[in-house]
Structure 1
């Protein structure tokens, strides 16, 4: 049997898990199948790689030797794949924009502005609730730019492998049904919503923890949080089943209103990122400028945000780039 890349990944998984059971779970295979594969690998390498014991497995001297090589080879192969993908997606020099983004109004605004500024360039999008998945797509060359969000001052994903620029910062507002008792207020205290069920879109950042901390500071813990897609969040708010969390740029929607939270207990930073060695990096300054314009335009469309900004002139979250 000749060694393949998957065999090296198996060896690494066993060493990292410290047991065949843990490695099988991480790799998504049955433990008997993993044990049989390990025996074949060991026969190919001429000796035992792991000693089995009551508390798991540990590498033998041969295993340590192989693992030293594995730890060098696997990252090298990954970098080769990423570089090849970026090279293959150069597109023969013709501009094109492949955008990855989380669900929100800014992605559509950026697409509109790119299509207007570069009418002959293809513009494609990929959306995901996972900021990390989008970042990986950029690193691997499948997407040119990632338009995502970060809670408060938390860093965006893969800060050591991507270049990130801030597009804008918004306070987090609350979505209420138009008939909600607090819907006509200029702002509400978070503690006034202590008895409500909540709805929000999922994500793999720290927003859920930040929200829970804000609620704790307000003296309560959320009784129920529905994590679902944007359309379902809107529906749950419209029918009075829950109140929702949203960026202040959330567009006007029939049947609900967006109301500021007093004291700005939560902030959302819009950021855009790219790989510094990708061909798309040359267009990054223009894309950042267009993204900031899309953010300014989205803010201008929200009457509640416009009123809030007028009452809070020291808040510098919205880009000064003209909306037009």
Structure 2
């Protein structure tokens, strides 16, 4: 009998369970069938792997040797299978570009630019509030590129093999109703909004904690935070129910104005991610360059952001190469 991967999985299951009975249950086998299979494996390997006793099984010296190799082989094979699946699902040409992103103007602007930069490509999009979900889709080969973001200097979503490059850094602005008493101000101190109720879009990063910490530094605790989709957020701001938080690139919306906060207590870092196995360097370079130009175009269409940039002596640092 030749040793197969399923035999190694059986050995590991018996060692983890500590008894043939429990291992048989976990493997969905009858205990006699598992015992017979173990005997065949032991004959193939030349000796006993486990000592049987009243209270279960104990690994022999030969069993320890086999288990040590198993701990290396099985994860390596699993990784190979996952990597092969990602590669098989990835398009080998630019005929299809699968883009993911969080909700906002940047994804649409990138799609628009890629239509000219890669005219032969058919672009599909997927949106999610979760940066972690976008990272998972990249890791599984179900997306080619993803636009995500992190609060301040927080680490990007983690997954083996993913590359994240900075597109731009934006200040976080506040959204006010056009008739708000502070709407005529060019810039607001966060402490001036201590009595406000707040609204923001959901996410699985640290923005909520960072916002609360910024409010604490300003001397107050937020009265309430409505976490909702963009349309509901805009409505809450328009009717004066809440003050919203937004990236500085938030598009002009009737009945709503955006204003910077004094001292820029919060920033948002736009990132483009891809998987090293499934993407060619040339295509990744093109998409990253187009993402940066898309951001510049979106920023230029925001009057409040343009005014903020022109007034600063120390502008937001440029995107990293």
User: Which category describes the TM-score, using the shorter chain as reference length?
Assistant: 0.7 to 0.9
- 1:89: which partner in 2? 89
Show the 5 A alignment for 1:313-324.
313-317=313-317
d(CA) in 2 for partners of 1:225, 1:284: 38
Map of 1:204 onto structure 2: 204
State the Cα deviation string for residues 38-72 of structure 1 (Å, max 9, x = none): 38469347799xxx9xxxxxx9756x979867855
Match of 2:26 in 1: 38
Cα distance change of structure 1 residues 304 and 71 upon mapping to structure 2, 3 Å threshold: farther
Judge conservation of contact 1:249–1:299 (CA < 8 Å) in 2: yes
CA distance in 1, matches of 2:266, 2:135: 23
- Deviation of 1:74 after TM superposition, in Å, equals 6.1
What is the rounded CA distance, in whole Å, between the counterparts of 1:304 and 1:42 in structure 2?
Answer: 71
Deviation at 1:93, TM superposition (A): 2.9
Determine if contact 1:86/1:279 at 8 Å carries over to the other structure: no
Deviation readout 1:150-206 (Å, 9 max, x if unpaired): 111111112753211111001000001111111111111111111111111111111
CA distance in 1 between partners of 2:94 and 2:250 (Å): 34
**C-alpha contact 1:164 1:274 (8 A) present in aligned 2:** yes
Q: Residues of 1 paired with 2:199 and 2:72: CA distance?
A: 45
Q: Tell me the secondary structure at the aligned position of residue 150 of structure 2.
A: strand
Separation in 1 of the partners of 2:215 and 2:241? 19
CA distance in 1, matches of 2:256, 2:27: 62
The whole-number CA distance in structure 1 between the counterparts of 2:190 and 2:30 is 60
**Structure 2 residues not aligned, in runs of 5+:** 39-49
Contact 1:102/1:127 (<8 A) preserved: yes
Range that drifts further, 65-74 or 124-133: 65-74
Matches within 5 A, 1:179-198: 179-198=179-198
1:77–1:136 distance in 2 versus 1, CA, 3 Å: farther
CA positional deviation for 1:84: 2.4
| Residue-by-residue CA offset, 1:134-159 (whole Å, 9 max, x unaligned) | 01111111111111111111111127
**Mean CA deviation greater in 287-296 or 223-232:** 223-232
2: CA distance between counterparts of 1:36 and 1:240? 63
Q: Conserved in 1, the CA contact under 8 Å of 2:161 and 2:277? A: no
1:223 aligned to 2:211? no
- Matches of 1:280 and 1:240, distance apart in 2: 49
User: Aligned equivalents of 2:86 and 2:225: distance in 1?
Assistant: 40
- Which residue matches 2:146? 146
Q: Once the 2 structures are TM-superposed, how far is the Cα of residue 87 of structure 1 from its aligned partner?
A: 2.4
Q: Counterparts of 1:318 and 1:288 in 2: how far apart (Å)?
A: 14
Closer/same/farther in 2, CA of residues 83 and 261 from structure 1, 3 Å limit: same
C-alpha distance in structure 2 between counterparts of 1:60 and 1:245, whole Å: 60
Unmatched segments (≥5 aa) in structure 1? 16-33, 53-58
Match of residue 270 from structure 1: 270
- 1:237 match: 237
Larger radius of gyration: 2
The residue number in structure 2 matching 1:20 is none
1:18 maps to: none
Q: How many residues align?
A: 289
The CA distance in 2 between the partners of 1:79 and 1:318, in whole Å, is: 36
TM-score, normalization by structure 2? 0.78
- TM-score w.r.t. length of structure 1: 0.78
Equivalent position of 1:178 in the other structure = 178
Distance (whole Å) between structure 1 residues aligned to residue 213 and residue 67 of structure 2: 42
Aligned to 2:252: 252
Paired residues of 1:81 and 1:140 also in contact (CA < 8 A): no
2-structure distance, mates of 1:246, 1:278: 33
